[in-house]
Amino acid sequence: MIHLSVRATTYLIGSLAIAVSISGCGNEAARPAGSAIESSTPAADRDWPLHGRIDGEDRFSPLKQIHTGNVGDLGLAWEVPMESQRGLEATPIVVDGVMYVTSTWSRVFAVDAKSGNVLWKYDPQVPREWGQRGCCDVVNRGVAIANGRLFVGTFDGRLVALDKDSGEELWVTNTIDRDKPYTITGAPRVVGNKVIIGNGGADYMVRGYFSAYDAVSGELQWRFYTVPKNTTGPFEHPELEEAAKTWDPNSTWDLGGGGTAWDSMAYDADLNLLYVGTGNGAPWPRFQRSPSGGDNLYLSSILALNPDTGRLVWHYQTTPGDSWDYTATQHMILAEIQWQGEPRKVLMQAPKNGFFYVLDRATGELLAANKFVRATWATHVDLTTGRPVFTDTADYSEKANVIFPATLGGHNWHPMSYSQQTGLVYIPAQDTATYFAPDRLSILTESMHRADMETLLPEPWLGFAVLVAWNPVTRGIEWKVPYPTLGNAGVLSTAGGLVVQGDAQGFMNFYDATSGERLHRIPTRTGIIAPPVAYEIDGEQYIAFLAGWGGALFVLTEQGTAARNYQNNGRLIALKLGGGEVPLAAPLANPKPLPAGEQVVMLSPEATRGRMTYMIRCGACHGWFGQTGLMPDLRTSPQSNIDNLEAIVIDGSLVPLGMPSFAGVLSDTEVADLKTYLNAVRVGQ
């Protein structure tokens, strides 16, 4: 059984200093000029007002001034430094000439979307120790704007409302149990007068839920738990009574069950349905979590709720009894497509498990489920029962297996896009596998050990990113573009016939939406993972995006990725026709050394224990595979740092740099074992 002890540090919200630095806000002169030039574009098409541009989140821009014929003339309109060297994942929101975007540590920037002048900044002062509570970097995917208010979730679990014009704080609400490793990285959504937000943490053992808060007061309106806390009740809401029937009464309830809703939502105003995607189980393997089996509702599910009441209308579970970290938190798109000759309102999702799902979004009826990448855990999904048919490979309760897709997923958080012109969905997919074994202390980290992978795979293999153009009607791949490394970025499609996607090498790529032909690419030398957006001001179209490598792959800066050779200073870049040169990131003074982790080191029992601690506590930032990422490679640490590890790891001497203190988390023995391990694997000193 997995027991990851949860840190018990309490953070006092009241003691957090909330700093708002305002420059020129509320001041007419600092605001962008109004539309001086007449534009024939309908007002609704000019902005990017919501996370996925529209409630249905198709991320298709109706703008067509930039098109397949002139995309080669794109150049820099402006850029803004994001004061970050870590992952940038946010979708910029553009309303009335102002762009609102988030940087790392949940900081908000308001920028004049025409000139690039920064209007105001807001820093929620997330305690840097919170960094250790997230699996995948201190990222944030963006804000929501409604009725003059801006909403942002903070990495330490607060929901904040700001005045959108001044950046002044209106209210701050704590959304979590602060003794548990919850985080918020997703963008809030606003439905009517409610702000909806979930959280992350299932990889670190928490119970998933999402909540609705009053947009004006910040008061909690309703909360939906995605998993029960036991099978006997009392239940917080009736849906949990149903869910409880799908769990072993002897489940590892103290580990929370998982099911965190850390990213995707969409809203259908006609049906008044809010769709929320839920995450993986905690712990990962069902044979540990719910030993006698069961579907374990509502893990890895798409939930449709009435947003007024928070009551469930229907649900569809993509991966019953999830044991593979196959979250269904991936982007959902609402569209109307021709289904067997009839127009049908559908919801489309490409979750981590590698199947592309098409559901009737009024009823939840499954219409299609087809593999868009290699997936070896199931042969197919039975459309009559709506259930996957598992392969023998999927079961790793007794024997280790390599299973496709990996825990990274066939598709992760990177938003896809549906073009209303081509009828295709452009998926930032990835071909990946994970080594799953029954006897690991922590499936979270140990399962990914590369040496084990190599005993089962013919050659060193970490996976590759691939942009897939999926036809939801014919249920097949129309075209695809492979990338040379792992590491993908969100996608935009436009009425100009373009598909726009960045890459790990630091290029912004422009493809023909019909053929997949690459028409143009702009080098930045900064790895890109965030999705681009399109907007128009004064009759001129822009394409804007964040460049900044990090996220789940920040431990994995492979050869060929920009962050291995160039400084990873995050920036917000806007392009327009006839613009200038995009500045290239400067080279690193000392390019990262090549992976040295290939050598086999015989470890003493102490060092083996140290390695385990390293995997659980340190690897998420300093790297699991022996590759060098953005954080220092501890195999090359100065000897004095290893000798005095307590100063850094317990006393917190590097907390200001983002290196958390593990005081109260690591025992003296664990620190001693860590030292033994780090000394055993030292290279190059």
Binding site for ligand HEC (CB under 6 A): 131-132, 617-618, 620-622, 631-632, 634, 637-638, 641, 648-649, 654, 657-660, 662, 674
d(CA 358, CA 355): 10
| Closer Cβ to ligand HEC, 205 or 212, answer by number | 205
| Closer Cβ to ligand HEC, 438 or 658, answer by number | 658
d(CA 378, CA 44): 43
| Closer Cβ to ligand HEC, 30 or 663, answer by number | 663
Please state the closest distance from residue 632 (CB atom) to ligand HEC, in A.
3
* Spatial contact of 454 and 468, defined as CB atoms under 8 Å apart: no
Burial code (b: 16+ CB inside 10 Å, e: under 16) for 259-271 equals bbbbbbbbbbeeb
Please state the closest distance from residue 648 (CB atom) to ligand HEC, in A.
5
Residue 17: count other Cβ atoms within 10 Å of its Cβ. Answer: 6
* Spatial contact of 172 and 126, defined as CB atoms under 8 Å apart: no
Please state the closest distance from residue 612 (CB atom) to ligand HEC, in A.
11
| Closer Cβ to ligand HEC, 126 or 544, answer by number | 126
Please state the closest distance from residue 675 (CB atom) to ligand HEC, in A.
9
d(CA 529, CA 517): 21
Amino acid letter for position 510: F
* Spatial contact of 184 and 142, defined as CB atoms under 8 Å apart: no
| Closer Cβ to ligand HEC, 131 or 294, answer by number | 131
Please state the closest distance from residue 495 (CB atom) to ligand HEC, in A.
42
Amino acid letter for position 481: V
Please state the closest distance from residue 208 (CB atom) to ligand HEC, in A.
22
User: Quick one: which of 498, 582, 500, 574 has its CA closest to 541?
Assistant: 574
User: Quick one: which of 529, 541, 558, 535 has its CA closest to 623?
Assistant: 558
d(CA 275, CA 55): 11
**What is the distance, to the nearest Å, from the Cα of residue 147 to the centroid of all Cα atoms in its chain?**
27
| Closer Cβ to ligand HEC, 85 or 115, answer by number | 85
| Closer Cβ to ligand HEC, 498 or 659, answer by number | 659
* Spatial contact of 144 and 93, defined as CB atoms under 8 Å apart: yes
| Closer Cβ to ligand HEC, 519 or 552, answer by number | 552
Question: The tokens 């098109």 sit on which residue?
Answer: 67
d(CA 490, CA 511): 14
Please state the closest distance from residue 91 (CB atom) to ligand HEC, in A.
24
| Closer Cβ to ligand HEC, 203 or 536, answer by number | 203
d(CA 436, CA 395): 9
Cβ neighbours of residue 234 closer than 8 Å, sequence gap 6 or more: none
Residues in the chain: 685
Tokens coding 343: 């127009």
